[in-house]
Amino acid sequence: MPHPRGRWPRRTELVRLAQAAQENEPRALDALLAALRPALDAFFARRIPGDAADDLTQAALIRIARDVGRLDPMGVGHHVTTVARTLLNAESLRQVRATRLFAPATHGEAVESPLDIERETEYEELVRAIRRASASKLPPELRAVVLGLLSDLSVSEIAADLRVDPFAIRMRLLRARALLRRELWAYIDRGMRAGTLLTFSMLGLQSVC
């Protein structure tokens, strides 16, 4: 079923829908694309104005429909985000080139650069990775603190919500730090090699970085 507010479907749901599509179950492919459409709409609309965002969503769905038969169902989520990022970067480059060709130089400065878009995409990917790692690897008392910080709550606000001392929240962050660092090292290492490292501090997780 479609997801409200453009949220990405859960990984287990994507795996199930992809497996059903590969087995040619009736309307299974339609169900997979319908589940992905709201999230793709929101992803592109936040970055690309007007009809271009709709066109990118449609292009992404066409590629996913074309590729789903040969994908490992466990990797469908990663494939979807890769397709979305590829289309977004291509469109941003096209818009930058068009602006430079047909608009005064001062207007071109207002167009978001491909690097900025790529960093924003990496940022969102890192947020999702932290949420997944927190859900699967952290005990409830640590997970509550990390998710609170991702929701822009301060240490004091989290302590008040959980009815514990702020010092206890900081100690829980220290414990979460080691666990998340191990789980998310692939993201950190990739950013270091690409020269576009997004640290946990950018997510409000200063005590975790």
Task: Identify the structural domains of the chain with CATH numbers, from first to last.
Answer: 1-112 (1.10.1740), 114-209 (no CATH)
Which range among 2-16, 70-84, 128-142 shows the weakest confidence by mean pLDDT? 2-16
Length of the chain as a residue count? 209
DSSP 104: -
Percent of the chain with pLDDT over 70: 70
Contacts 24+ apart (CB under 8 A), 18-24: 18/68, 18/71, 18/73, 18/76, 19/73, 21/68, 21/69, 22/68, 22/69, 22/73
Helix H segments across 50-108?
50-67, 76-102, 105-108
Residue of higher predicted confidence among 191 and 169: 169
pLDDT at residue 152 tops 50:
yes
| pLDDT classification of 139: cutoffs 50, 70, 90 | very high
Residue 176 Cα distances to 10, 38, 169, 200, angstroms = 23, 32, 10, 12
What is the average per-residue pLDDT within 144-155?
79
Residue with more model confidence, 207 or 169: 169
Per-residue tokens: 161? 């919500």
Question: How is residue 52 written in tokens?
Answer: 């271009």
Read off the pLDDT of residues 80-108 as tens digits, 9 standing for 90 and up: 888 888 888 888 777 666 555 544 544 44
The fraction of the chain above a pLDDT of 90, given in percent, is: 22
